[in-house]
């Protein structure tokens, strides 16, 4: 957890609370809607019983002159009504009750990848890295966004002539398609174990472990419990051939899903990758089959070659997206 000590900021009605609540970590900031998010703290969710206690801890660590009265929270969960049940963490909360607990007059809650999507048009320069050659973003066309973390987030930006409109999505739970015979064997084994095999079942941190386990078992070897980070490090060091194969398969299948998103949404404005996993292995992603699988759609290969793919490397893009969201709803 990142701590900021002895920092005092003046918070009044023009300051706002921002929080990006993922399955593993929560990022929190204060924003004045002019300079952007600041006083960013990152918390490990496993250390807290619920979101309310985590947010209260944040406030206790920062010396505030005045308490913010408006907040915006991005949550890795579908937002349907007042009750929010997180998908990859056993946290459940009432928006109304949380607002009162935090002493806020108004609390906005949106999907985490809706927030990431809102940040995309504002990410330039070193904040993004092109993955693969070819393609130019076309103005006036949708932009696709997806990214593996604790889960697999998916969203789309739709242009309306004045500004970008984010489309909330649970596309990470769509059924995972296979391309090669090995992938078919992997998904068959996963189906025997889990029933439905979604894209998130493989294309996420826990999915990386599930993928490594199946590849190990298909080789007739015993599986030793490992973390996603350990698999990634073994692959990057080339110290474990099965870990390397796992990561290569991961990137390839991610390319297939990203290409499907581009076709479904006509995302000729580009497709952006986000999430907490990929920025740690940029070169491996560039050298992988991701781009080939992205474009490998038969008669539509040329169509997809014209669509650029980028990796978002800017830290905390969802907080930036919440900044954009609040500027819209407050018209500040």
For 25-142, where are the E strands, in sequence order?
25-31, 37-44, 63-64, 70-75, 83-85, 92-94, 106-111, 128-130
What radius of gyration, in Å, describes the C-alpha atoms of the chain?
A: 20
Query: Where in the sequence of the chain do the CATH 3.40.367.20 domains occur?
Result: 124-313
Give me 301's structure tokens.
């290969």
* Mean pLDDT value of segment 16-35: 92
CA-based nearest residue to 211, from 249, 237, 154, 239: 249
* Mean pLDDT value of segment 238-257: 96
The pLDDT of residue 13 is 52
Domain 124-313, architecture per CATH? 3-Layer(aba) Sandwich (3.40)
Question: Please, which pLDDT band fits residue 33 given cuts at 50, 70 and 90?
Answer: confident
* Mean pLDDT value of segment 36-57: 94
Answer whether 40's CB lies under 8 Å from 2's CB: yes
Look over the chain and give the mean of its residue pLDDT values, rounded to a whole number.
92
Answer whether 88's CB lies under 8 Å from 200's CB: no
Choice among 77-81, 140-144, 191-195, 259-263 with the minimum mean pLDDT: 77-81
Give me 305's structure tokens.
């070659």
The pLDDT of residue 246 is 97
67 pLDDT higher than 70: yes
* Mean pLDDT value of segment 300-306: 97
224 pLDDT higher than 90: no
Question: Please, which pLDDT band fits residue 64 given cuts at 50, 70 and 90?
Answer: confident
* Mean pLDDT value of segment 66-90: 91
19 pLDDT higher than 90: yes
14 pLDDT higher than 80: no
| Total residue length of the chain | 332
The pLDDT of residue 148 is 96
Query: Where in the sequence of the chain do the CATH 3.30.420.40 domains occur?
Result: 8-112+316-330
* Mean pLDDT value of segment 190-207: 96
Q: Which residues lie closer than 8 Å to 268 by C-beta, 6 or more apart? A: 137, 138, 141, 142, 262, 306, 307
Top-confidence residue, 195 or 36: 195
The pLDDT of residue 161 is 84
The pLDDT of residue 88 is 86
Q: Which residues lie closer than 8 Å to 263 by C-beta, 6 or more apart? A: 297, 300, 303, 304
* Mean pLDDT value of segment 185-203: 97
Instruction: Return the CATH fold of 8-112+316-330.
Output: Nucleotidyltransferase; domain 5 (3.30.420)
* Mean pLDDT value of segment 297-314: 97
| CA distance linking residue 93 with residue 232, whole number of Å | 33
223 pLDDT higher than 90: no
């Amino acid at each position: 957890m990142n701590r900021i000590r002895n920092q005092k900021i003046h918070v009044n009605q023009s300051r706002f609370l921002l929080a990006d609540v993922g399955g593993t970590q929560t990022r929190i900031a204060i924003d004045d809607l002019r300079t952007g998010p600041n006083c960013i703290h990152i918390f490990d969710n496993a250390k807290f019983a619920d979101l309310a206690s985590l947010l209260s801890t944040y406030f206790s660590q920062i010396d505030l002159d005045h308490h913010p009265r408006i907040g915006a929270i991005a949550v890795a969960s579908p937002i349907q009504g007042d009750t929010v049940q997180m998908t990859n963490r056993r946290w459940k909360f009432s928006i109304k009750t949380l607002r009162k607990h935090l002493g806020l007059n108004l609390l906005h809650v949106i999907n985490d990848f809706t927030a990431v999507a809102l940040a995309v048009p504002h990410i330039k320069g070193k904040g993004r890295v092109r993955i693969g050659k070819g393609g130019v973003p076309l103005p006036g066309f949708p932009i696709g966004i997806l990214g593996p973390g604790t889960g697999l987030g998916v969203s789309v930006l739709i242009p309306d002539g004045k500004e970008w409109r984010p489309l909330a999505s649970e596309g990470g739970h769509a059924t995972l398609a296979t391309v090669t015979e090995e992938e078919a064997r992997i998904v068959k084994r996963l189906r025997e174990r889990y029933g439905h095999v979604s894209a998130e079942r493989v294309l996420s941190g826990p999915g990386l472990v599930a993928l490594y386990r199946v590849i190990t078992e298909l080789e007739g070897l015993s599986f030793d419990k490992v973390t996603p980070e350990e698999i990634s490090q073994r692959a990057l060091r080339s110290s474990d051939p099965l870990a390397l194969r796992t990561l290569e398969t991961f990137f390839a299948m991610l390319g297939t899903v990203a290409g499907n998103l581009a076709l479904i949404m006509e995302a000729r404005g580009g497709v952006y990758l986000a999430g907490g996993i990929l920025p740690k292995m940029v070169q491996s992603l560039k050298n992988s089959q991701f781009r080939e699988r992205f474009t490998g759609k038969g008669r539509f290969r040329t169509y997809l070659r014209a669509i650029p793919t980028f990796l978002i490397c800017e830290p905390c893009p969802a907080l930036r997206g919440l900044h954009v969201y609040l500027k819209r709803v407050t018209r500040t």
